[in-house]
Structure formats: structure tokens, C-alpha cells
Amino acid sequence: MQIIIAEESGFCYGVKRALELVDEYLKKGLKFDTLGPLIHNPFVVEELKSKGVNPIDKLEETDKKYVMIRTHGVPPEVYRRAQELGITLLDATCPFVSRAQEAARKLSEEGYIVVVVGKRDHPEVLGILGNVRGKAYVVCEPEEIRSLNLKGKRVGFVCQTTFRHDVFARCVTEALKVVAEIKIINTRCHTTERRQNSVLKIADETDLTIIIGGRNSSNTKRLYELASMKGRAYHIESPDELKEEWFENAEKVGIAAGASTPDWLVEKTVEKIKSFERRS
Amino acid sequence: MQIIIAEESGFCYGVKRALELVDEYLKKGLKFDTLGPLIHNPFVVEELKSKGVNPIDKLEETDKKYVMIRTHGVPPEVYRRAQELGITLLDATCPFVSRAQEAARKLSEEGYIVVVVGKRDHPEVLGILGNVRGKAYVVCEPEEIRSLNLKGKRVGFVCQTTFRHDVFARCVTEALKVVAEIKIINTRCHTTERRQNSVLKIADETDLTIIIGGRNSSNTKRLYELASMKGRAYHIESPDELKEEWFENAEKVGIAAGASTPDWLVEKTVEKIKSFERRS
């Protein structure tokens, strides 16, 4: 059995950077928590806890002087609230997300009605929305555009960094039927695109694909969706979930990992699959 | 046999306005030619010739002091050339086309690379292009976007006023994959949309559709394409082209006319179809 790992797989730039910042601050002797789980992977979150870095839901919950903002970013009011509470924020917002926040702010300052294409309750989307100074909407499918009153309006579009290109484009297409003007700042992260193409490629070349990543990770779920379109695919959070029968008669197995999945989880997954082979 | 005429059919706003301007200037006693045929309909052009208004290819060809700019508009150099020649231009450019020209100029002034979605050699497109002060491209299908070097660029989009919405949207979608920013000024004329929907509707309700309009009229050709998608359709320039056998066993006949087709041509077409019925 041949195991092929997707070319673009595992930690993305923003996640790597966030974890490097954690190490850097810990080395400096800083004690801090993270506002929400730092990244969408339970193993990484557990590892951080063991180092004294705990996820909190609200700034008020911490007993430390420092709190880290995770890759998804936060709305501006969190920065204001931190100041009121005397908490120093350590900002691990992914630079691509910061760019999306700035884009939304700029569009609203230029007088555009802002449409954020993304998941309504995703923390990144809430952070982007918080930066809009005028009217704003969140849509996650083209049909929703029709119910907004955009006829003859000037509309500014941004996109959740990891959102689907095709849905983003279809939302723009729908708006184009009625609006006077559209300005789109392309806030999709290019890694996402490459990662998704990479999964499609290995799913095409193999008999089944294993997608590794947190159950609450949007980008991992999307990788699973794409792989399923091409053939048999399984989404696991941990190698323990692998089942021997999945690999019966399989000659080629593809593996891809979400943007929050550490390399060691990929390695353990490969080992486990190989152990099935030895047994058979 | 029932004959249904499409709700939105015949002369559009820009064409009506141009012909009213002709009458107005003739009443004032002005003698003038038109730069190119005033509208894309041979009968109307012949009628104008009988009034002494001749289509010319170049400003240099006229022996008159006045020349009319037709609905499609012209690039700015024509205005300059007219001044050099001492010719006064009578401007019948469709206001929707003027808006598209201004949009292209504005986008290029704002530093965008301008992409005009439309037919490369269409006079309207050449007029729009002439207003761009920086880099510009014309594309008529999404595949062409890929061959342009737009990666990471700021791209401004405008559209030939009568072009297909779906193609325009697909060009934007294609660009969205690579560009940093897109600004779209929606220069499509709403009449075009309504006219096209109107044809789809009657083509759906009838056994065959007759599309009346000039062979060189883009918008008429598009109406024919749309009607053909729904069932049997014929494109005629004149009622003389109608064939009796088309109407055998037809219970309902739809009629739609291009934006440059005068009402009397529609009336003559209806009369001719009715004469087939009387004979049978």
C-alpha cells in the first residue's frame, strides 16, 4: 500500500506564526491565556494547557495580565475592553485576517455597503464585521443576496479568508444583477486555494483519502467535502479513529491535514495505517 | 393562431432618443451625416438617406458642417479630429454608453487596469476603450482573463451595455481567483436585461418565435440565441423572409424585435403571418 501526503497540508502560515509567538512569549517568561482556543485542534489546545496557556471565553475570566488574540482575530471592542481591564493583548491575529479586517473598514469608510461572504457566527467573520463603520451584511450563499436591498447601491465585498471561492464568486454574480457598483477586496487566503487543490489532486490519484483535523475546523471540513466529491474519504481528529477495514484492497491512500493539524498527528496516522498493512 | 408580441420589444431608449434628435435637427434646417449607420437597421438607414442623412465611414468624407455621433458613441479622438476639421458634432451617444465611457475613464484615473467585457471590434467597445488613460484589455469570454497578467493587480471592470450578464459575471469570477482587488461599475443597460427576459418568456409560451432585427445587430442576435434555447426560432430582417411552412400547425407565435427595429416592421410582420392563416 502506497501512502501519499498532500503537498499542501498541515499548519498554515497564520497557525505556525501563532504557535511561534506562544513559544516566544513563554520564553520571555510571560504568563497568558488565549481568548478562545488558539487554533481549532484539541491536541494543540491540550498541549498549550499543559504549558499554562488556557483558553478563556471572556477577558474577564483571566487572572493574568496578558491575553493572546488567536489567529481568527477579534472586533475592535475587545481591544477597548482589554484597555479598561488593564490587560495587555498579545496579537496572534493571522496577517491575512488583519488584512480582511482593514479591507472591510476601508470599504465602509469609502461609503460602500459591506457584504462579508462567510459563516455568520465564525469568530473571524465577527472580527471583520466589527471593523465596519456603516451598513454591513454577512451572507454564506448567493440566494441571501437577493433578500438584501442592494438595487442601485454601491456594494463592497470581502470574504472570510478560508471561504469557498465559488460561493464568493456566485454571491458577487448575484449582486452584479442589481447593484450600481461593486468593489471587491480579495481577502481569501491563497494557501486555502492551494491546499484545496492539493486535496482534489490526491483524492483523484488514490483509492481513499484520510482528512485529519479538528471537528470544529471549517477548513478541515471543507477538505473532507472536496475529497468526498472525488471518492471515498474519512475525516478523523485522531489516528485512534482509523478503522482497519477502510484500507482493505486499497493500493493508494491519500492523507491531507487541516491548517490547524500538527505534523506529529500526520506522522502517527501514517504509522497506524502502516501497522494495519503489517498485520494483514 | 395567436400572435404574442414580447412586452419589451423594438426601439430602446437610446435609439428613440437618437431618432428624435435627427427629427429635431432636420426641423431646425441642419444638414448632417452620421458617422457610421445611425442604428443597426437597414430600413431605418435607408429612410434617413431619403432625408439626406447619409452614413459616412470617416469625418473626412462629409461635405456638410455637421456630423451626428450615433448611439454607440466614439473615442475622444473623434471629437478632437472634428474640431481640427471644423465639423460640429451632434451627439446622439446613448446616455448608458456615455456612462460606460465615464466609468472606464474613472477606473483608469483611480489606477485600475481596465477590463472591458464585450465584443472586441464593436464600435461601442472602441469608444469605451478610447476613454481609458492607462492599461486596458477587452475580453469576450472568461478564458481570456487567464491569459492576462492580473495576479495581485487592482482591476476595474466595465461591460458593453448590451453584453450578456452571465459572461460578464464569469469574467469577474475568473479574475477573482488571482487579483488583489476588483472594482466593477455596472454599465449594463437594464433595458437589455428586461428585453432578454421578455423573449425567454414568450419563447416559453409559444410554438415558435420570430425575432426581427438587423443582421449586424448584436442585441438582436442575442435575442435569437435565447429564443432558440427555448424552442424553434427564426431571425428575420424583413417580413419578406417569412416562410409559410414555419407556421403550419402553430397555435401560438411569439414576436420580438431588436432595439433598432421600428414598430412598423413588427406590424408588417404580424400582417404577413396573418395572411398565411387566411390562405390556409
Looking at the fold, whether B222 and B158 belong to one and the same domain comes out as: no
Identity of the residue in A179, A186, A193 whose CB atom sits nearest the CB atom of B179: A186
Neighbours of B264 (CB within 10 A): 11
Give the separation between CA B60 and CA A167, rounded to whole angstroms: 52
Tell me whether residues B172 and A169 touch, CB distance under 8 A. Answer: yes
Segments of chain A assigned E as strands: 2-5, 32-35, 55-56, 66-69, 88-91, 113-117, 136-139, 154-159, 181-185, 208-212, 232-236, 252-257
Alpha-carbon distance of A156 to B155, in angstroms, equals 14
Asked whether A60 and A36 are in contact (CB, 8 A), the reply is no
User: Which pLDDT does position B192 carry in this prediction?
Assistant: 84
CA distance, residue B135 to nearest chain A CA (Å): 19
Our count of domains for chain A comes to 3
Q: What is the pLDDT confidence band of residue B280, given thresholds at 50, 70 and 90? A: low
| Chain B residue numbers touching A180 (CB-CB < 8 A) | 185-186
In angstroms, the separation between the Cα of residue B126 and the nearest Cα of chain A is: 22
Nearest CA in chain B to A175: B169
The confidence score (pLDDT) of residue B194 equals 87
Nearest-CB residue to A184 (from B176, B185, B186): B176
Instruction: Tell me which of B188, B214, B239 is where a domain ends.
Output: B188
Nearest to A176 among B169, B181, B183 (CB): B169
CATH number of the domain enclosing A179: 3.40.1010.20
Chain B residues whose beta carbon lies within 8 Å of the beta carbon of residue A175: none
Mean predicted confidence (pLDDT) in B146-153 = 93
| Phi, psi dihedral angles at A246 (to 5 degrees) | -60, -30
| Interface residues on B facing A, Cβ-Cβ cutoff 8 A | 165, 168-170, 172-173, 176-177, 179-186, 193
Closest chain A residue to the Cα of B184, Cα to Cα: A182
Average pLDDT over residues B27-49: 93
Q: Which of B107, B182, B192 is most worth mutating to test chain A (most A CB atoms within 10 A of its CB)?
A: B182
Same domain? A203 vs A273: yes
- The verdict on whether B237 is a catalytic residue reads no
B250-260: average pLDDT:
94
Which of B63, B95, B127 is the last residue before a domain boundary? Answer: B95
Q: pLDDT tens for chain A, 280 residues: list them.
A: 999 999 988 899 999 999 999 999 999 999 999 999 998 888 899 999 999 999 999 999 999 999 999 999 999 999 999 999 999 999 999 999 999 999 999 999 999 999 999 999 999 999 999 999 999 999 999 999 999 989 999 999 999 998 888 899 999 999 999 999 999 999 998 888 889 999 999 999 999 999 999 988 888 999 999 999 999 999 999 999 999 999 999 999 999 999 989 999 999 999 999 999 877 6
Minimum Cα–Cα distance from A183: chain B residue = B183
What is the pLDDT, as a whole number, of residue B248?
Answer: 92
Q: Domain containing B119: what range?
A: 96-188
Q: Give the rounded distance of the alpha carbon of A247 from its chain centre.
A: 29
Mean pLDDT on B85-104: 96
Domain end, chosen from B72, B95, B118, is at: B95
Are the beta carbons of B72 and B93 closer than 8 angstroms?
yes
Say if the Cβ atoms of B180 and A185 lie within 8 Å: yes
Are A218 and A163 within one domain? Answer: no
What whole-number distance in Å separates Cα of residue B218 and Cα of residue B215? 8
Disruptive mutation site among B107, B112, B186, B192 for chain A (greatest number of A CBs within 10 Å): B186
What percentage of residues in chain B have a pLDDT greater than 90? 86
Looking at the DSSP bridge assignments, the partners of residue B3 are B253
Nearest-neighbour CA in chain B from A93: distance (Å): 20
Q: Between A168, A170, A179, which is nearest B186 by CB?
A: A179
pLDDT at A280: 61
**Interchain contact, B172 vs A177, CB within 8 Å:** no
**Residues B228 and B256 grouped into a single domain:** yes
What percent of chain B lies above the pLDDT cut of 70? Answer: 100
B46 C-beta neighbours (distance < 10 Å), count: 10
- Whether B36 and B72 share a structural domain: yes
Closest-CA residue of A relative to B177 is: A165
Nearest-Cα distance to chain B for A138, in Å, is 19
In this structure, are B173 and B211 located in the same domain? Answer: no
Residues B160 and B222 in one domain: no
SS3 A32: strand
Between chains, do B184 and A185 touch, taking CB under 8 Å as contact?
no
Would you call B181 and A182 a contact, using CB atoms and an 8 Å cutoff?
A: no
Q: Please tell me whether residues A108 and A178 are part of one structural domain.
A: yes
Alpha carbons A31 and A53: distance in angstroms, whole number = 7
Question: Per the residue annotation, which of B60, B109, B110, B124 is the catalytic one?
Answer: B124
* Average pLDDT value for chain B: 94
A186:B168 CB<8 A: no
Contacts (Cβ under 8 Å, ≥6 apart) of B131: B75, B76, B101, B102, B104, B105, B108
pLDDT for A54:
97
CATH number of the CATH domain containing B48: 3.40.50.11270
Q: How far is A238 from chain B (nearest CA, A)?
A: 33
If asked whether residues A160 and A238 sit together in one domain, one would say: no
What average pLDDT does the segment B183-199 reach? 90
Residues B171 and B102 in one domain: yes
For testing contact with chain B, the best of A107, A115, A176 (most B CBs within 10 A): A176
Q: Is the pLDDT of residue B73 over 80?
A: yes
Residue from A124, A237, A241, A248 carrying the catalytic annotation = A124
In a shared domain, residues A208 and A274: yes
One domain, residues A106 and A182: yes
Q: How far is CA A224 from the centre of its chain?
A: 14
Rounded CA gap, A58 and A37, in Å?
12
- Min distance B232 CA to chain A CA atoms (Å): 28
Q: In chain B, which residue's Cα lies nearest the Cα of A165?
A: B177
pLDDT for res A77: 94
Say what the pLDDT of residue B40 is: 82
